């Protein structure tokens, strides 16, 4: 009798699952039909924009759609899941409207590649570059629609090569991507005891400096041009460990010796999107500037005073030697909250540009807040 009851319960469960799956199949067909209609409308919009001489790519429109859907969602679908779904829908829509190529700091598997996928999705065409300068060159020559370059990290600070190219860049900054960075120690064996040398990009090594000093004291550290190249080096030598993201372990046949080895849990890298778009104001924007001023008492003060007078908040300010000028000449980079079409920002920039100051507006773009990638899995440190 007990066996019979269990069999009857299993049959009831199977029937229930079958009925639910039939409903899911019907919904999937409806979703497919609706996606087809959406793609057809996207193609029409792309044609209208193209014939009118307008750029078919509208990144801020995508953010508006996401904001509206997230507000309506009421947590029925996790935010990261909804973002991931629509990232690919937007990517496919853009591919229908116009082919787009994204240049990034490669090879595949770097954090810059991850940031590019986060912004442009799988449908875009990606071009690997070996240096930041190469990314700028491809965008400026029109061989890439967009470029993605790292600009600063919350632990290690600014990326010098990006700053140097921004001084002379002919392309605009039209967006930003903020990505939560988690580093892993990867090698062939998965054993930390086998590590005699650690290799990675200088930024990654710097972001894990304290962990390396306490867990691998005396171990040689070696810089590479990317975290992916470091993973490739580790795949060729069992005594070498790479600092990279966990996806690199799958790509290069490595094992994870330790997870989340960055010195701070909230380790964020900000990337800039290069391109010829001019994003419209969204109400939550950032304007990036670089300026040069005469080397005389009070020159820098007089510039910064103008930002305060126009009640503009500077979210970032730093100086960088101008490699194209004589020694000890500096360029100053600032990020201002607000869009250059905003009257206060526009008037401030106008006043800044004088005989004493040369100002270059790098671009205005929507501020991008950090959110965890849907591909990210919960991690625990293996001590």
Whether the CB-CB separation of 194 and 161 falls below 8 Å is answered with no
285/159 same-domain check: yes
For 109, the domain range is: 101-180+269-366
Same domain, 213 and 324: no
Q: What is the pLDDT of residues 331-364, one digit of tens each?
A: 999 999 999 999 899 999 988 887 668 899 999 9
Give me the CATH number covering residue 229: 3.40.190.10
Residue 72: CATH number of its domain: 1.20.59.10
Whether residue 120 is contained in a domain is answered as yes
Q: List pLDDT tens digits, range 136-194.
A: 999 999 999 999 999 998 888 888 899 999 999 999 999 999 988 899 999 999 999 99
Task: Count up the domains in the chain and report the number.
Answer: 3
User: Is 377 inside a domain boundary?
Assistant: no
Q: Which of 82, 97, 112 is the last residue of a domain?
A: 97
Both 283 and 169 in a single domain?
Answer: yes
- Among candidate residues 66, 97, 128, the one where a domain is terminated: 97
- pLDDT of 78 reads 81
Give the pLDDT band (50/70/90) at residue 5: low
Residue 346 is assigned to a structural domain of this protein: yes
In a domain, 257, yes or no: yes
pLDDT, tens digit (0-9, with 9 covering 90-100), for 248-265: 898 899 999 999 999 988
Same domain, 60 and 109: no
Residue 375 has pLDDT above 60, yes or no: no
Q: pLDDT digits over 258-291, tens only?
A: 999 999 888 899 999 999 888 888 888 999 999 9
Q: Are residues 44 and 174 in the same domain?
A: no
Q: Is residue 9 part of a domain?
A: no
- In three-state form (DSSP H/G/I as H, E/B as E, the rest C), the secondary structure along the chain is CHHHHHHHHHHHHHHHHHHHHHHHHHHHHHHHHHHHHHHHHHHHHHHHHHHCCCCCCCHHHHHHHHHHHHHHHCCCCCHHHHHHHHHHHHHHHHHHHCCCEEEEECCCCCHHHHHHHHHHCCCCEEEEECCHHHHHHHHHCCCCCEEEEEEEECCCEECHHHHHHHHHCCCEEEEEEEEECCCEEEECCCCHHHCCEEEECHHHHHHCHHHHHHHCCCCEEEECCCHHHHHHHHHHCCCEEEEECHHHHHHHCCEEEECCCCCCCCCEEEEEEEECCCCCCCCCEEEEEEEEECCCCCHHHHHHHHHHHCCCCEEEEEEEECCCCCCCCEEEEEEEECCCCCHHHHHHHHHHCCCCEEEEEEEEEECCCCCCCCCCCCCCCCC
Identify the pLDDT of residue 6: 60
235 and 130 part of one domain: no
Q: Which of 239, 261, 283 is a domain's end point?
A: 261
Asked if 278 and 359 sit in the same domain, the reply is yes
Looking at the structure, do residues 83 and 211 belong to the same domain, yes or no? no
Question: Do residues 111 and 157 both lie within one domain?
Answer: yes
Domain contains 38: yes
Cis peptide before 229 (omega within 30 of 0): no
Q: Are residues 228 and 197 in the same domain?
A: yes
For residue 372, is it within any domain?
no
| Class of residue 133 by CB neighbours under 10 A (exposed 0-12, middle 13-18, buried 19+) | middle
293 plus 356 within the same structural domain: yes
Domain match, 249 and 205 both: yes
């Amino acid at each position: 009798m007990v066996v019979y009851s269990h069999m009857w319960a299993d049959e009831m469960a199977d029937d229930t699952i079958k009925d639910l799956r039939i409903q899911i199949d019907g919904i999937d067909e409806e979703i497919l039909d609706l996606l087809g209609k959406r793609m057809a409308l996207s193609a029409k919009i792309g044609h209208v924009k193209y014939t009118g001489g307008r750029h078919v790519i509208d990144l801020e429109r995508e953010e508006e759609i996401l904001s509206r859907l997230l507000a309506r969602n009421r947590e029925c679908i996790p935010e990261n899941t909804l973002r991931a779904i629509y990232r690919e829908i937007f990517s496919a829509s853009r591919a229908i409207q116009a082919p787009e190529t994204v240049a990034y700091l490669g090879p595949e598997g770097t954090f810059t590649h991850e940031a590019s996928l986060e912004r442009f999705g799988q449908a875009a065409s990606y071009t690997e570059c070996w240096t930041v300068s190469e990314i700028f060159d491809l965008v400026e020559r029109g061989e890439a629609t967009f470029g993605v370059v790292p600009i600063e990290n919350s632990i290690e600070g600014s990326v010098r090569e990006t700053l140097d190219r921004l001084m002379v860049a002919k392309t605009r900054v039209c967006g930003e991507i903020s990505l939560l960075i988690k580093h892993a120690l990867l090698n062939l064996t998965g054993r930390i005891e086998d590590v005699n040398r650690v290799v990675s990009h200088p930024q990654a090594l710097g972001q894990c400096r304290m962990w390396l000093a306490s867990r691998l004291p005396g171990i040689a550290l070696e810089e590479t041009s990317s975290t992916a190249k470091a993973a490739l080096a580790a795949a060729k030598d069992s005594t070498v460990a790479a600092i990279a993201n966990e996806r690199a372990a799958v790509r290069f046949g490595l094992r994870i010796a330790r997870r989340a080895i960055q010195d701070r849990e909230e380790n964020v890298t900000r990337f800039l999107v290069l391109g010829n778009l001019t994003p419209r104001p969204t109400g939550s924007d950032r304007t990036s500037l670089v300026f040069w001023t005469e080397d005389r008492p009070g020159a820098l003060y007089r510039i910064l005073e103008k930002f305060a007078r126009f009640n503009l908040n500077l979210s970032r300010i730093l100086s960088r030697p101008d490699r194209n000028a004589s020694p000890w000449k500096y360029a100053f980079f600032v990020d201002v909250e607000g869009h250059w079409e905003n009257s206060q920002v526009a008037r401030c920039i106008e006043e800044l540009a004088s005989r004493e100051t040369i100002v270059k507006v790098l671009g205005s773009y929507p501020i991008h807040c950090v959110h965890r990638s849907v591909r990210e899995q919960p991690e625990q440190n293996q001590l």
